[in-house]
Amino acid sequence: MKYQYRTQGTCSSAVSFDIEDGKLSNVVFTGGCNGNLKAIGRLVEGKDAREIADLLRGNLCGFKNTSCADQLSKAIDKALEA
């Protein structure tokens, strides 16, 4: 199933992804640090969504209270609750 999440407090403005049989795919961020966010998408491809959310949760970016990776964990949590 396809999910779209509007990020908050980051340079990226949104993240979209699919979850099929509990596995992540097609993670794409809108805006933000293009190379780093493409790398996150590649690193999490095919991985268990719950494990990735747990791994990325609480990751901060500089002085911010969140990061694109942390926002991805929040997006996954919300998707899994639905």
- Secondary structure of 7-76 in the HEC alphabet? CCCCCEEEEEEEEECCEEEEEEEEECCHHHHHHHHHHHCCCEHHHHHHHHCCCCCCCCCCCHHHHHHHHH
pLDDT at 74: 98
pLDDT tens for 21-62 read 999 999 999 999 999 999 999 999 999 999 999 999 999 999
- DSSP state for residue 11 in the 8-state scheme: S
pLDDT at 42: 98
Q: What predicted TM-score, i.e. pTM, was given to this entire model? A: 0.96
